[in-house]
Amino acid sequence: MRSGIRVKICGLTRSEDVATVAAARVAYAGFVFFEKSPRHLDMSRARALALDCPPGLAKVALTVDASNAALAAILDEVPIDMLQLHGHESPERVAEIRAQFGLPVMKAVGVADADDLAALDSYARVADQLLVDAKPPRGAEVPGGNGLAFDWRLIAGRRWPCPWMLAGGLDAGNVAEAIRLTGARQVDVSSGVEAAPGVKDAARVAAFCRAAAA
**Measured at the alpha carbon of residue 6, what is the angle toward residues 68 and 211, in degrees to the nearest 5?**
130
User: Does residue 23 carry a pLDDT above 60?
Assistant: yes
* Residue 56, domain member (yes or no): yes
* Residue 110, domain member (yes or no): yes
- Bridge partners of 110, per DSSP, are 133
pLDDT digits (tens, 9 = 90+) for 58-115: 999 999 999 999 999 999 999 999 999 999 999 999 999 999 999 999 999 999 999 9
User: For the chain, what percent of residues have pLDDT higher than 90?
Assistant: 87
Phi and psi at residue 82, in whole multiples of 5°? -150, 145
Average pLDDT, the chain: 93
User: Does residue 176 carry a pLDDT above 90?
Assistant: yes
Model confidence band, residue 2 (pLDDT cutoffs 50, 70, 90): very low
Q: What is the pLDDT of residue 139?
A: 54
In angstroms, rounded to a whole number, what is the distance separating the alpha carbons of residues 114 and 131? 16
* C-alpha 112, offset from chain centre: 18
List the catalytic residues: 10, 133
- Bridge partners of 28, per DSSP, are 8, 58
Task: Look at 5-9, 109-113, 123-127, 136-140 and tell me which has the smallest mean pLDDT.
Answer: 136-140
* Residue 202, domain member (yes or no): yes
* Residue 154, domain member (yes or no): yes
pLDDT digits (tens, 9 = 90+) for 144-169: 454 568 899 999 988 899 999 999 99
CA-based R_g, the chain, Å: 16
Q: Which of 66, 32, 41 is nearest to 190 (CA)?
A: 32
Domain that holds residue 35: 6-213
Q: Which of 62, 144, 137 is nearest to 109 (CA)?
A: 144
Q: Stretch 106-133: mean pLDDT, rounded?
A: 95
The dihedral over CA atoms of 142, 146, 150, 155, expressed in degrees to the nearest 10, equals 60
Say which amino acid occupies 208.
F
* Residue 20, domain member (yes or no): yes
Q: What is the pLDDT of residue 1?
A: 45
The total number of structural domains in the chain stands at: 1
* Residue 1, domain member (yes or no): no
* Residue 105, domain member (yes or no): yes
CATH classification at residue 77: 3.20.20.70
* Residue 25, domain member (yes or no): yes
Sign of the CA dihedral running 120, 60, 13, 65: negative
